[in-house]
Amino acid sequence: MKKSKAALVILIVLLLTLGIGYMDIWGYDGNGAGNASDIKLGLDLAGGVSITYQVVGDENPSETDMADTIYKLQQRVESYSTEAQVYQEGSNRITIEIPGVTDAEYILSQLGRPGSLYFISQTDSAGNQNYQSQYVMNEDGSSGEKTVLTKTIDELIADGSVIITGTDVAVARAASIQNQMQNQEYVVELNFTPEGSAKFAEATARAVANGYETIGIYYDGEFISTPQVKQVIDEGQCTISGSTYNPFTYEEVSELATQIRIGGLSLELEELHSKVVGAQLGVDAIETSLKAGAIGLAIVAAFMIIVYFIPGLASAIALCFYVALIVLLLIGFNDVLTLTLPGIAGIILSIGMAVDANVVVFARIREELGKGESVESAINTGYAKALSAIIDGNVTTLIAAIVLLILGPSNVKGFAQTLALGIVVSMFTALFVTKWLMQALYALGLKNVAFYGKGREKKSIDFLSKKAIFIVISVVVILAGFVFMGMNKASGKGALNYSLDFVGGTATTVDFNQSYTLQELTDTVVPKVEQITGSSVQVQTVQNSNEVIFKTSTLESATRSALESMFVNDFGVTQQSIQTETISSTISDEMKRDTIIAVVVAILCMLVYIRVRFKDIRFGFSSVFALVHDVLVVLAFYAAARVSVSNTFVACMLTIVGYSINATIVIFDRVRENMANAGKADIVEVVNKSVTQTLSRSIFTSLTTFVMVALLYFLGVSSIKDFALPLMVGIGCGCYSSVCLAGAFWIILSKKFPAKKKA
């Protein structure tokens, strides 16, 4: 590379980093349009709309109907945000919380009245019209044709004109088909339940016999569609299409399918009240996270330069480019991506993996320089030899992220989105940007080997001779965790310290005589609430009012009375301004089930990938054993330290899984390489050598990632501390398992299940 070209490469990267950073902060026009403030934040970071519905006509609906309604409603509101929450309040109320939205009326108009959907035949058994078209005056003064009922819904139900209700619809989705003219046409596809299929077949047969009548779809007090029946539908599925001269647009079929889905809930709901709520973690959570990220990035950059000299400088510049680009992409994808605390975890993990890729490469370069190669040759060879480890480590984690994104529930999608995005960008910066910068710096005259560091042949450390000790230590720690769980459960405290996200609790809404900021509430009110209730507290302010919602664990009547007395005596509120309701968990059984399924599928997919890449399934099982070990050790820490198990628990565990598998794959990649060159060498010697060669990588990567998380812990608010502390334990445990256990597991499996000799 010529000096002029090298200077141009460095200049372009620096200008791109500064330019993207400028847009991140000040926006593309310099006035804040399209900057980081446009990133859609979750309820925990920014708040949103809270809507409470009440079941119509039934004060004590069954638990099954409520659970089914909540689950389907959760699927519906995920179209607004993957981080939306739906939970039960009291015996017959359901609350929806949608982050990043400040217009409750818009959401209400979109949702309508859930569970109020009817399919109505055009005529009754006597041939009388059940609905008809008439001209009406619109609010803007214009007139238009509208289909209206000629009877009440109760009368239609009584005379059998209501064919099916929304609960008879199993699936409603927007689709695209080829019509008879071979043109693309947008339609709504409907699949009915077995009972609904039988009713619909009978109704369509009657409609055809009466001269191809229509069937009106009536939702929330008005007709949303009156399609004509063109044939008897007896297979339990059909499509709704527009007319020849007025075909549906995709937006129209999407809206119609949405209305049918929301109208097909088990219970009919009506709005009780709606409000805009503040962030659960508050503005401080964002500010401290940004501060921790900036300080951590500076420390990591300084560390890389001090340890790796010129390669470290290149990686520091590339890392700044990576962070700026990630923020820009978060802004660009704000329509489909909501950033929450778990999402921040995904970004932290991807930063750790970006550093890891550079460390793997730099270690290889130093090894080549130690063999006497020139700097230019060492750079190229180092990247070539490190490529497989970087690809395998990142792809296995990316597979897990994609599976979680597809199969996981809403509470893990934000984590999966940011992790997948971060992995792709980190691979690009590590494999290309850092390399270009190193080659450019070399071309500008920085060619002395001293600027890059020369590796020395290290004497292998005999880790495997201590494998029995390492395994015993791990077993003792894991068993201790289960003992703590048993002791906690026996004492009535619960095996783990589950937050209300998992077990539900009590929501106390207080209308104060003055407005409080979240920080003021945290400093003055929350400690008193925690002292009385003996539980952690989630606080939400209500926009344009003095109302504050305190969510705690389930409170007995005596504790509720004590809490109310405290508000009355210490803050001068009236008894009437305090409302208390029991709320369900925000993480439903279905979400727990979906998470477990997604994690199992992700592990199986990783096993398949490792089997294909390493041609030895024992590497895959050893990797899985190591990550299961890390998860169980962190679980033991949760039990012993009584750290709150909240919605960030899942993200914490998934972060540890991704971190563990990546660390282990790097070591196994070196084992695979050394095995190919070992000839008849003892496999124990090969593993010890491989672990020793990658030891600095294991320590340095763990250290840099640990620093990022530790800063979140020391600078963050209490909720962030509950997330960062076990993650720090997981990072340390991941380093331990990859160095001390992964190779041992592989050796044990290799001796227990030796590979078949080739003929």
Domain boundary among 264, 293, 312: 264
In a domain, 468, yes or no: yes
- Cβ(49)–Cβ(103) under 8 Å? yes
* Residues 6 or more apart whose Cβ sits within 8 Å of residue 128: 150
Determine the Cα–Cα distance for residues 328 and 570; give it in Å rounded to an integer.
Answer: 47
Are 560 and 614 in the same domain?
Answer: no
Whether pLDDT at 473 is above 50: yes
Determine the Cα–Cα distance for residues 621 and 749; give it in Å rounded to an integer.
Answer: 9
- Helices and strands of the chain, counted as H and E runs: 24, 17
Q: Please state, for a pLDDT cut of 90, what percent of the chain lies above it.
A: 25
- Residue pointed to by tokens 């460390």: 359
Q: What is the pLDDT of residue 464?
A: 92
Whether pLDDT at 758 is above 50: yes
The Cβ of residue 749 has, within 10 Å, a number of other Cβ atoms equal to 18
Determine the Cα–Cα distance for residues 563 and 578; give it in Å rounded to an integer.
Answer: 10
CATH code of 663's domain: 1.20.1640.10
- Residue pointed to by tokens 């565990």: 653
Are 166 and 218 in the same domain?
Answer: yes
H or E element at residue 253: helix 250-263
Q: Strand 117-121's sheet: what is its strand order?
A: 162-165, 117-121, 215-219, 222-225
Determine the Cα–Cα distance for residues 47 and 283; give it in Å rounded to an integer.
Answer: 10
Minimum mean pLDDT among 263-272, 363-372, 508-517: which range? 263-272
Domain boundary among 528, 560, 583: 583
- Cβ(342)–Cβ(356) under 8 Å? no
Amino acid at 374: S
Are 351 and 425 in the same domain?
Answer: yes
* Residues 6 or more apart whose Cβ sits within 8 Å of residue 331: 24, 34, 35, 36, 38, 39
Determine the Cα–Cα distance for residues 335 and 496; give it in Å rounded to an integer.
Answer: 36
Are 539 and 597 in the same domain?
Answer: no
CATH code of 517's domain: 3.30.70.600
Whether pLDDT at 736 is above 80: yes
Q: Write the Ramachandran bin of 740: left for phi over 0, alpha for psi from -120 to 50, otherwise beta.
A: alpha
Are 645 and 547 in the same domain?
Answer: no
Domain boundary among 215, 245, 277: 277
Question: Of 421, 320, 316, whose CA–CA distance to 17 is shortest?
Answer: 320
The Cβ of residue 567 has, within 10 Å, a number of other Cβ atoms equal to 23
Q: What is the pLDDT of residue 482?
A: 93
- Cβ(397)–Cβ(419) under 8 Å? yes
In a domain, 288, yes or no: yes
Determine the Cα–Cα distance for residues 102 and 49; give it in Å rounded to an integer.
Answer: 6
Question: Of 112, 118, 102, whose CA–CA distance to 76 is shortest?
Answer: 112
- Cβ(548)–Cβ(568) under 8 Å? no
Per-residue pLDDT tens over the stretch 409-430:
766 777 788 888 888 888 899 8
Q: Rounded mean pLDDT of 397-402?
A: 85
The Cα-based distances of 508 to 89, 447, 550, 551 in angstroms read 11, 67, 5, 6
DSSP annotation of 544 = T
- Cβ(635)–Cβ(681) under 8 Å? no
Confidence of residue 293 (pLDDT cuts 50, 70, 90): confident
Whether pLDDT at 120 is above 70: yes
Question: Of 334, 285, 630, 341, whose CA–CA distance to 501 is shortest?
Answer: 341
Are 595 and 575 in the same domain?
Answer: no
Question: Of 229, 222, 162, whose CA–CA distance to 190 is shortest?
Answer: 229
Determine the Cα–Cα distance for residues 49 and 497; give it in Å rounded to an integer.
Answer: 28
Determine the Cα–Cα distance for residues 252 and 63; give it in Å rounded to an integer.
Answer: 35
Are 443 and 511 in the same domain?
Answer: no
Confidence of residue 133 (pLDDT cuts 50, 70, 90): confident
Confidence of residue 33 (pLDDT cuts 50, 70, 90): low
The Cα-based distances of 367 to 22, 142, 151, 374, 688 in angstroms read 39, 80, 85, 12, 17
Confidence of residue 759 (pLDDT cuts 50, 70, 90): very low
Domains: count for the chain? 5
Cβ neighbourhood burial of 182 (10 Å; 0-12, 13-18, 19+): exposed
In a domain, 459, yes or no: no
* Residues 6 or more apart whose Cβ sits within 8 Å of residue 11: none
In a domain, 489, yes or no: no
CATH code of 84's domain: 3.30.70.3400
Residue scoring higher pLDDT (435 or 34): 435
Are 509 and 643 in the same domain?
Answer: no
Q: Rounded mean pLDDT of 75-102?
A: 80
In a domain, 637, yes or no: yes
Q: What is the pLDDT of residue 757?
A: 59
Are 130 and 78 in the same domain?
Answer: no
Question: Of 327, 262, 330, 274, whose CA–CA distance to 98 is shortest?
Answer: 274
Are 617 and 744 in the same domain?
Answer: yes
Pairing type for strands 162-165 and 222-225 reads unpaired
Q: Please state, for a pLDDT cut of 70, what percent of the chain lies above it.
A: 92
The Cβ of residue 675 has, within 10 Å, a number of other Cβ atoms equal to 15
* Residues 6 or more apart whose Cβ sits within 8 Å of residue 323: 293, 297, 351
CATH code of 132's domain: 3.30.1360
In a domain, 17, yes or no: yes
Per-residue pLDDT tens over the stretch 222-270:
899 999 999 999 889 999 988 877 888 888 888 888 888 888 777 888 8
- Cβ(661)–Cβ(396) under 8 Å? yes
Cβ neighbourhood burial of 752 (10 Å; 0-12, 13-18, 19+): exposed
The Cβ of residue 78 has, within 10 Å, a number of other Cβ atoms equal to 16
Whether pLDDT at 586 is above 80: no
In a domain, 684, yes or no: yes
Q: Rounded mean pLDDT of 168-175?
A: 88
- Cβ(291)–Cβ(714) under 8 Å? no
Are 125 and 230 in the same domain?
Answer: yes
Are 146 and 258 in the same domain?
Answer: yes
* Residues 6 or more apart whose Cβ sits within 8 Å of residue 258: 76, 79, 110
Phi, psi torsion values for 587, nearest 5 degrees:
-105, 105
Phi, psi torsion values for 48, nearest 5 degrees:
170, -155
Determine the Cα–Cα distance for residues 424 and 216; give it in Å rounded to an integer.
Answer: 49
Domain that includes residue 401, residue range: 3-39+280-451
Share the mean pLDDT of the chain: 84
Whether pLDDT at 625 is above 70: yes
Q: Write the Ramachandran bin of 232: left for phi over 0, alpha for psi from -120 to 50, otherwise beta.
A: beta
In a domain, 500, yes or no: no
Determine the Cα–Cα distance for residues 360 and 355; give it in Å rounded to an integer.
Answer: 9
